[in-house]
Structure 1
Amino acid sequence: MLVPDLPVSAFRRLRERAPRWLSPRQVLCCVPIVVIGYWMFAHWPLIAGGARQLLTANVYWLLAAVGATALGWVAVSLARQGTVLEPLPAGRLFATQFAAGAANHLLPAGLGAGAVNLRFLRKCGLPLGRSSAALALYLLCESVGRCLLLLVLLAAFPDALDLGALHLGQRLPAGLLLPVVLGAAGLVGVLCLVLVLLPSLRRVIRTFLATAFTDIRSLHARPSRALALWCGSLGFPALQAAGLVTVALALRVPVPVLHVAIAYLAASVAAALVPMPGGLGSVDAALVVALVTTGASVPVATSAVLGFRIITVWLPLVPAALTLGALVRRRVV
C-alpha cells in the first residue's frame, strides 16, 4: 500500500496557488529597493540638510556635476569591457554599472558591485575563473589610475594639502573618527581571516593568479582592449574629482579647483582602506578632512561633501535599485 507524500503534495498545491510575484526571483528583485528605501529613510535628515544647501547653489554647476557623474558610469563600462577579450553588450553593460551603484551600498569594500558584475559576466558566458580575474584586474587598474592621478597632481602642486590647517582653529566633528576606527577593525579582521585560511587557499590563489596573468598578457596584446581598460580606469576617478570640483564651484567654496581635485583623490585613496558599504562615512570623513587641509572651513567642506554625495549617491540610488531589480528579473545578472 502506497502512502501519499502529503508534505510534498501540500507544498506543490501552495506553490501553484501562490501569486506569481511571490516567486523567489520576484522577491529577490524587491530586496535592493526595500533596503535602499530604508537606508534613505534612516538618513533623511542628512539628505534634507544637504538639499537645503544646494538650493542656494549655482544650478549650472550642479548640472555639470550630474553630467560628470553620468560620464563616470560610461568610464566604468569602458574599463569593464577592457578587462575581457569578448565583446560585451554595451547597453546591458552600462545598465549593470548603473545598477551596481545600488548594490555597492549594501556590502562593504565594493563587494556589492563586484557581485553584480560577476553575475553579469557569468551570464555573458565567461567561466568563473576568468570572470573573477576580470574583476580583480579592474580593481587593480582603477586603483593604479587613481594613485597615478594623485601623484601627478601632487608633483605639480606640492602645497595643495596643508596638514597644519587641521590645527589652526579647524575643529573637526568627533563623528569623523568613527569610520576610521570601524575601518581599522575591519581591516584587522580581514587580515586575520586571510592568515587563518591561507594554507587551504594557496592552491586556489595560484590557479587564480595564473589565469589573471594569462588574461593580462592577452588583453595588452590587443590595443583596443588595453586602451579601453586604462582610459576607463583613469577616466572614472578624474570624472569623480570633476564632480566634486563642480559642486565646490556651485557652492562657491574658496579653494582652488585643482586643490579640490587633489583633495578628492587623496580622500578616496585613504578611504579605500576603510571597508564601509559604498564608502559611506569613510569617504565623507576623508573628504571633509582633505578639503579642510586645502583651506576650506569645516562648515563649507561639510556642505560641499553633502552636495557631492547627494548628486553621486543619493539621487541615483532609487533608480539604480529599480534597475537592479529589472536586471535580476530579466536574468541579465
Structure 2
Amino acid sequence: MPAGRGGAKRWLTRRRIIQAVLVLGLAYVAIPLISELPDVVGALRDARPEWLIVAAAATFGGFVCAAVALRACAGLAISYRDGIEMQVAATFTGTATPASVGSLALGVQFLVAHGQPVSIATAVIGLQNIVQFLVHVVLLTVLALVGGSSVDVLKDAPSGWTLLVILGVALAVVGIALGVRRIRDALAEVWQHRGREAAEHLTTLVRSPRRLTASVLGAAGGTISSAVTLWAVLIAVDAGSHPVTAAFATMVGATLASAAPTPGGIGAVEAALVASLTALGINPGTALAATFGYRIIATWIPTCLGWFFYNRLQRRGMI
C-alpha cells in the first residue's frame, strides 16, 4: 500500500469523521446568522457586563442541574465533574444534529462507558427526558396560573372551539394511525425493547425518594436556569426586569427546540423567543438583541466549549 494512502487511512479515523460531520453541521446552521451580527454586537457592546456574567453563571448552573438529574435517573455514582463535562459536550453534539439526536446519543455512550448495557442506558436517557418533560409542563402550568395575568399570556390564545377541533383532529389522526397494523407492530416493538425498561426505571425512581427528589430538582433547575439567563440578558440590554416574561419565553423556546427539525432548533428558537418577547411587551429591536445575546451565552459559547470537552471525554474513554 502506498505511504500516502496509508497516512490518509490513519488520519480518517471514525472519531475524526464524526467530528468533521458535527463541525460542518454547526457551520451550516451558523452561517445564516452572520448577517444579524452587526446589530447584535452593537447592542451587546453597550450591555451591562455584570448582568452578562450573571447570565453565564446561570447557564453553568443549568449544566450542573442536568448532571444531577442524570446521576439520579441512572442510579450510578457518576463524578459530577464528568457529568458536567458531558452535559457541555452534549451542547456541541446536540447543536450539530437535528432534534437533539446527538445529545441523546452522547448520553447513552456516556452511560455505556460507565458500565451500563446499551438497552438500560437508552432507557435511562429516556427516563431523564420523561422527567424533564413532566417538570416542564408542571412549571409552565404553575407559571400560567400564578403569573399569567401579569403578562396576559392568553390574550392571543385560540378559542375553546378551535382547541376542541384541533384536539379532535389529533385524536382522529392517532386513531387512524393505530388502525394500521404495521404501525401497531412498530409501536409494540418499541415498547418491548425500550418502553418496558423505561417504565421499570421510572417505577424504581418513584420508590426512591432521594433519587426522585434529585431528578425533579435537577430538571426544574435546568428550566429555571434558562429563565434566569434570559432575564439577566434582558436587564443587561436595558429591556427592564421581566422574570415572568423570561420564564414564558424560554419555556416556549425549549419546547420548540425539542420539536424543531433544525439542528439545535436554530432559527425556530430565535423566532419563538423574539415573537414571545415582543408579544409580552418588549420592544422588537431589544427583543432581537436579547434573543441573540441569550443564545450566544446559553448555546454558542457552551457549544464551543463542548467541542473541547467532547474531545477530552473521548481521550479519557468516557464516550
Alignment match, 1:127: 117
Question: How far apart, in 2, do the equivalents of 1:275 and 1:221 lie?
Answer: 36
- Report the Cα offset of residue 310 of structure 1: 1.0
Question: How far apart, in 1, do the equivalents of 2:83 and 2:240 lie?
Answer: 39
Aligned ranges for residues 166-205 of structure 1 at < 5 Å? 197-205=183-191
Contact 2:25 2:263 in 1 (8 A): no
Question: How far apart, in 2, do the equivalents of 1:159 and 1:255 lie?
Answer: 17
Q: Normalized against structure 2, the TM-score is what? A: 0.83
Q: Which moved further from structure 2: 82-91 or 295-304?
A: 82-91
**Structure number with higher relative contact order (C-alpha < 8 Å, ≥ 6 residues apart):** 1
Contact 1:68 1:240 in 2 (8 A): yes
Structure 1 residue runs without a partner (length 5+): 1-9, 167-187
Alignment match, 1:226: 212
- Report the Cα offset of residue 82 of structure 1: 1.3
* Structure 2 residue 298 is matched with structure 1 residue 312: yes
Question: How far apart, in 2, do the equivalents of 1:147 and 1:20 lie?
Answer: 48
Question: How far apart, in 2, do the equivalents of 1:216 and 1:163 lie?
Answer: 33
Aligned ranges for residues 244-263 of structure 1 at < 5 Å? 244-254=230-240, 256-263=242-249
Contact 2:68 2:80 in 1 (8 A): no
Of 152, 164, 168, 2:142 maps to 152
Of 284, 300, 305, 2:286 maps to 300
SS in 2 for 1:280: coil
Of 115, 131, 152, 2:105 maps to 115
Q: Kindly tell me: are residues 41 and 289 of structure 1, through their superposed partners in 2, closer, same or farther at Cα, counting changes over 3 Å?
A: closer
SS in 1 for 2:97: coil
Alignment match, 2:58: 68
Contact 1:161 1:294 in 2 (8 A): yes
| Paired residue type of 2:121 | S
Contact 1:36 1:318 in 2 (8 A): no
- Report the Cα offset of residue 286 of structure 1: 1.2
SS in 1 for 2:148: coil
RMSD, aligned α-carbons = 2.9
Aligned ranges for residues 1-150 of structure 1 at < 5 Å? 10=1, 20-37=10-27, 39-150=29-140
Of 246, 262, 267, 1:276 maps to 262
* Structure 2 residue 226 is matched with structure 1 residue 236: no
Alignment match, 1:4: none
Alignment match, 1:291: 277
Superposed CA offset, 1:91-135 (max 9, x none): 222111100001111222221100110111111111122111111
Residues matched between the structures, number: 300
Contact 1:108 1:278 in 2 (8 A): yes
Alignment match, 2:162: none
- Report the Cα offset of residue 330 of structure 1: 3.6
| Paired residue type of 2:76 | E
SS in 1 for 2:73: coil
User: Quick check: which has more Rg, 1 or 2?
Assistant: 1
Alignment match, 2:199: 213
Question: How far apart, in 1, do the equivalents of 2:113 and 2:242 lie?
Answer: 46
